[in-house]
Chain A
């Protein structure tokens, strides 16, 4: 390994920095997962030690599964996240295809308008959104959340995807047109597979804030029927007494689905089937 670009001190230095960073980033997560398996006394007595046979306790998990309908909350979170993600990717990709592919009056202005949402936080419009949802009778439905999250995710999706769509070979789309493919077929069969890595990136960026959001479920859908996991975990957060075991257990469980979704998308990030299409 003693090539011109690799020197031992430099390798050690780089690894030290990366390991330190990883440790800092993972520390809170590990702390949460570790303490979720401990008894209440264990959590407060020695919060930084892993569970020992003496402090090991599944009380948190039994509370979570016993009290409240946690499976249902999970289901709600998953429905909201997956549906929002689907709409963000579908509409985002379609809008960016139109912006990058067709010349029409006001194209640039439309692109700017659609990207404006990146700079303006959607929460500023909470009151108006609530009024809108009340007026349309969507309060306490998952539809309300899906609509809001779709709107929230679209600007960034369009911004990133239209850059990638511009890079898709024009010749390929024109070959499709000469072969008689419709614009929809060209979009779904030729262009989408080629921007799959970009779609995966957008999916990851969109998914995590939606899954973790507390604000909109609390305001738009706080009913027992429509509670999401983050809102459900609040159940154990009292004004005077907080059930730390249950909260830590709920949070540990909440990590799992996002982790699974992330693994699915990150595989797509690596895979690229562009090679061989052009050049």
Chain B
């Protein structure tokens, strides 16, 4: 069991309003990712859920019970931090056991849970080591293990992969995804990296400046973004935004994803010069300076040879073009 409900949560630090009224429902067993640029309030929201920060107003309900005034240890949550936050003076085993000991769990039960968790995360050889004797990836696995043994209703992850190098990040991401499948637990994951959000989430919550911009599955957000912010934030490379007036359109802004543009050497909608080409092997990113549309990015699957300075025509896929109004909302 582990459902979460947030009702109109606001948080202000002095005169600065960080969260401006958040409503959210997380169902049992869901993997929810909070994503947004830095300073959007996603970490603060996670801390409010954990009980590490008090909300200025609003309610947090875990499994239907109001926990707004419950201390973190009694909320039935476990948290994994960006900086691992392992206890430096304790061995891996004791790091995992400390929370359970504090809660008065019998020793045999602690032993059993540590055994299961360490097998799951392949930590058995390191149980007697201290954090200083482990590598970054191992430390983060210990931090995850410390969360697993608590058998919490809610797992909270605060940018757990940000301190790992690129290769390890992919591995650990995979481990977290498998963990979720195996435990079927409710997980809330905070990140600024939209790739992590897209690959892990059942449901993504896009936050910006203390407000929720949109909630939906990764594909919903990709295919039907509610507004310009979500459209720009989800997807890589970023969506092209073109001034509607320049194209003779009624909409304020026209949005086209780089992968929904095709190029041709002889004819097409927008004539442009190649500014730069990025060859990634599997695909090629072209930067075109168009007469009408300005600087746009085009993503071509496979290898495409284009010299900087040469002239190309780009054509958008009309079915996958987004039109945004003056308020940034999508026009249907």
Q: Which A residues are closer than 8 A to B by beta carbons?
A: 169, 171-172, 174-181, 189-190, 193-194, 273-279
10 contacts between A and B (CB under 8 A): A171-B81, A172-B83, A178-B79, A180-B74, A181-B73, A189-B89, A276-B130, A276-B132, A277-B131, A278-B85
Further 15 A-B residue pairs, CB within 8 A, beyond A175-B86, A275-B132, A279-B163: A171-B81, A171-B83, A174-B50, A174-B52, A174-B81, A179-B73, A179-B146, A180-B74, A180-B99, A181-B73, A189-B87, A194-B88, A273-B89, A276-B88, A279-B136
Q: How far is the CA of A43 from the CA of B222 in the complex (A)?
A: 92
The verdict on B133 contacting chain A, using a C-beta distance below 8 Å, is yes
CB of A199 to closest CB in B, whole Å: 15
Q: For residue B146, which residues in chain A have a CB less than 8 angstroms away from its CB?
A: 175, 179
CB distance from B92 to the nearest CB of A (A): 11
Bound form: Cα–Cα A174–B71 in Å? 12
Count of A-B contacts judged by CB separation below 8 Å: 84
**Chain B contact patch, size range:** 20 to 34
Nearest CB in chain A to that of B74: its residue:
A180
Contact in complex: A276, B73 (CB < 8 Å): no
Residues from chain B with Cβ under 8 Å of A175 in the complex: 79, 81, 85-87, 146
- Least CB separation from B143: chain A residue: A175
By the criterion CB–CB under 8 Å, are A171 and B85 in contact?
yes
Complex Cα spacing A171 to B103, Å: 20
Interface presence of B29 (CB below 8 A): no
| Contact assessment for A276 and B133 in the assembled complex, using a CB-CB cutoff below 8 Å | yes
A178 touches B78 (CB 8 A): yes
B103: which A residues are within 8 A, CB to CB? 180
Q: Which residues of B contact A174 (CB under 8 A)?
A: 47, 50, 52, 72, 79, 81, 85
A103 CB, min distance to chain B CBs, angstroms = 8
B134 to chain A, nearest CB (A): 7
Q: Chain A residue with minimal CB distance to B81?
A: A171
Complex CA–CA separation, A170 to B28 (angstroms): 29
Are A178 and B89 in contact (CB-based, < 8 A)?
A: no
In order of increasing CB-CB distance, the 6 nearest A-B pairs are: A276-B132, A180-B73, A179-B99, A180-B102, A171-B85, A277-B88
Instruction: State whether A276 and B134 are in contact (beta carbons under 8 Å apart), knowing that A177-B73, A179-B99 are contacts in the complex.
Output: yes
Assuming the contacts A275-B132, A276-B88, asked whether A178 and B83 have C-beta atoms less than 8 A apart, the reply is no
Is B263 positioned at the interface, with any CB of A under 8 Å from its CB? no
Interchain CA distance A277-B83 in the complex, whole Å: 8
Contacts of B87 in A (CB 8 A): 172, 175-176, 189-190, 277
